[in-house]
Every structure is written in structure tokens, then in C-alpha cells.
Structure 1
Amino acid sequence: MRLLNYLGQWRSVAKEAKDLTVTVAKFMGLLHVTDAYLCSSTLVYGPSMLPTLNISGDVLLSEHVSHRFGKVGAGDLVLVRSPNDPRKIVTKRILGMEGDQVTFFVDPKHSDRSQTTVVPKGHVWIQGDNIYSSFDSRTYGAVPYGLIQGKVFCRVWPPDGFGSLD
């Protein structure tokens, strides 16, 4: 009789563990889908987006829907997979869409020489707001639209900078 009682307790514990595991797995799946396809937070730091973003780091919220439907355009702040290092995500501003003519300073630190180019089909022209310290389309050219990972819509940290980045 004791053995049956003991086995019954273990079955109860096993069922509870299985139910908890299924609940955690569902939650983790929902978390993954939300982070990858809907909305995520990103820590951004460095000088390339000064004065819009802080050099010491900002936490931004980005949504991952607009770019899938072609709803990003010139002026938008976007997260882009770096063409030079696919492990990195960079934050830049779109200055030109496919077909747009873009004029930019080639090396603003050392000369006033500018160049004009037309953004090819399926590409965007991205630049940092700090043209003196940004590695962007001026260096590696127009970026394929498919490298856009998300559109930034809000700064959540630091608290004094909280709000929309439109």
C-alpha cells in the first residue's frame, strides 16, 4: 500500500513538472516571436549618432514590422545589420531610398569635396548624424534593404531622454 501511495505522489509531481515545463516553453516561444518579429529593445552607444543619441549609451525600442511592409523612408532611424560585420547591428538614419539622388561629403574631416550618387534599386542610403565620426554608406555604399532589422520609435533610457525619436 505504501508503494502505491509513493508512486502516486511521484506521478503527481511528474505531471506538475510537465505542466510547468510546457508553460515555460510557451512563454519562451512567445518571448522569442515578440523579440524577433514585433518589438525589441537595443542598447546603442558610440559617437556616430551624436547629437541624437548619447555616446555613453541609450536604450531604444524598435519595431520589426514596418520594414517588412516597405514602410520606412528617408529620415527614419533604423537598425541595420552591418555590411562589413554581419554579427553587428548598427543604428543609422536613412537619407535616401532606391532611386533617390544623394549628395554627401566624402571626407568631411579633411576636405569639402562632395559626391552625388543615385541609390540603386533594392537599397537604402544610411548615415550617422555625426558625419565626422560615422562609418556608413559613405564608406561602404548603399545598403541592401534586406539588411534593415527594425525601425526605432522610442528612447527609454536615460530617463531624461525618454520619448519618441521622430
Structure 2
Amino acid sequence: MGVSNVKQWSRIVNEALDRAFFTAKFLCLLHVSNTYLCTVALAHGPSMLPTLNLSGDLILADRLSVRFGKVGPGDIVLVRSPQNPRKIITKRVVGMGGDRVTFSVDPKDSRRCETVVVPEGHVWIAGDNIYASTDSRNFGAVPYGLLQGKVFWRNRSHLKQKIGAKRSFKRVICFAGPLVQGSRKFFELMVENLQGGWFGSPSMHY
């Protein structure tokens, strides 16, 4: 009887350890995917109207494009705010290092304009809604190293719309989908973990 109980408890312990190891590997995969491949964010606010929704859009941002310098004027990016490093903002790239950028000092007065040359290693960012955006017009060009990712997909409630890239949702998940059974479940867990703050990534305010 004693030997039978030991074997039973041994099986239970082994099964628990197997599940614990699987869970740990899965969470590591989520962390690596979020940190180095692509990240999920919730963006809301007025500064990127009408491109992004005021009440909130779910967006995906590619981190590899930033690492390999595949970011240029016109791209929507996630940027660590130079005014508050704990905050991530969503803006559009207007100019890269060496570019000349002309901007309106006062959006209500189109005659007040200035032209600047973006320093090398920096980018000039702006919100699509210049009437309600804090951007490079306020704090100047930002170092390229503050870029966190390039947005390529967003979901506005029932509406799914790609931004910039022509890749489908299935191709978005291909980075880590094959490693986890059920790529849709993988995506859902990434969203849940983001909302729970597991990765320390706040919702995007722009």
C-alpha cells in the first residue's frame, strides 16, 4: 500500500513539474516575442486622428524594423517619450537624420512656420492631428534609440485594418505561431498579458 502511494505521488509530482516547465517556456516565449519580435499595444487619444481611433485601437508593432533601420518618413511608430521615459507614445515619422522639416509653430496660424534640419541619429515625429498633439514641435527631434517599434496592423473594435505593410494577420503571427500550438491562442495570451502588465508595457497614450 505504501509503495503504491509513493508511485501515485511520484506521477502527480512529475506531471506538475512537466506543466510548470511548459508554462515557464511558454511565458519565456511570450516575453522574447514581445521584446524582440513584435509587441501588442492599446492606443488611444486624439493626436493620431483620424488614422487611429480616439477611444482606442489594438495595434501590433514590429520591433525588427527599428533594429535593422527599416523606418522612414510616413511610418507610424511607438516611441519612448523624451519627456516621460515611463510613457510610450504613438506618432508618425516626418523626417530622418539630415532631412529638412518645415512645420507650423501655431496650427491656428499657417503663416508661422519654421524649418529645421533633423540631426543625424534622430527622427522628427508628429501626430496626424496637429491641433491636439505633443510631438517634435514641442520637444524637438528624438534620438533614434527611443523608437520601440513600427506599427503595421491595428484593430478598431470589429474593424481590422492594416497600416503600411501588406502582410496578413496570419503572417503577423508567423514569428512565434509554429512554436505554440494554436497561433490565435498565442495572440490572445499576448493581449491578456499586456493588459495585465506582465511585460511592463503600458497602454499607448498619444
Structure 2 counterpart of 1:53:
52
Match of 2:94 in 1: 95
What's the CA shift for 1:111?
A: 6.3
- Aligned residue for 2:132, secondary structure, equals coil
State the 1:106 CA deviation.
1.2
The structure number with the bigger radius of gyration is 1
1:132-159 Cα offsets, whole Å, 9 max, x none, are: 1100000000000000000000112222
Instruction: Return the alpha-carbon distance in structure 2 between the equivalents of residues 97 and 9 of structure 1.
Output: 65
Paired letter, 2:58: V
1:41 alignment partner in structure 2: 40
TM-score normalised by the chain length of structure 2: 0.77
Cα separation, 1, equivalents of 2:163 and 2:24: 35
Shift of 1:112: 3.0
Amino acid at match of 2:85: P
Report the 3-state secondary structure (helix = DSSP H, G, I; strand = E; otherwise coil) of the residue aligned with 1:72: coil
The aligned counterpart of 1:164 is: 162
What is the SS of the residue equivalent to 1:56? Answer: coil
What percent of counterpart residues are identical? 58
Q: 1:157 and 1:29 mapped to 2: Cα distance?
A: 29
Q: Distance in 1 between matches of 2:43 and 2:19?
A: 36
Instruction: Compute the displacement of 1:73 (Å).
Output: 0.2
Moved over 4 A (4+): none
Count of residue pairs the alignment pairs up: 164
Amino acid at match of 1:41: V
Other structure's SS at 1:43 match? strand
Deviations 1:25-56 (A, max 9, x none): 11111111111111222111111001111111
Q: Which runs of 5+ in 2 are unaligned?
A: 165-206
Alignment of 1:5-154 (within 5 A): 5-109=4-108, 112-154=111-153
Q: TM-score, length-normalised on structure 1? A: 0.94
1:119 CA drift (Å): 0.4
- CA RMSD in angstroms comes to 1.2
The answer on whether the counterparts of 2:92 and 2:125 sit within 8 Å (CA) in structure 1 is yes
In the alignment, the residues of structure 1 paired with residue 156 and residue 100 of structure 2 have an alpha-carbon distance, to the nearest angstrom, of 35
| Cα displacement (A) at 1:107 | 2.0
Report if aligned partners of 2:53, 2:156 keep a CA contact under 8 Å in 1. no
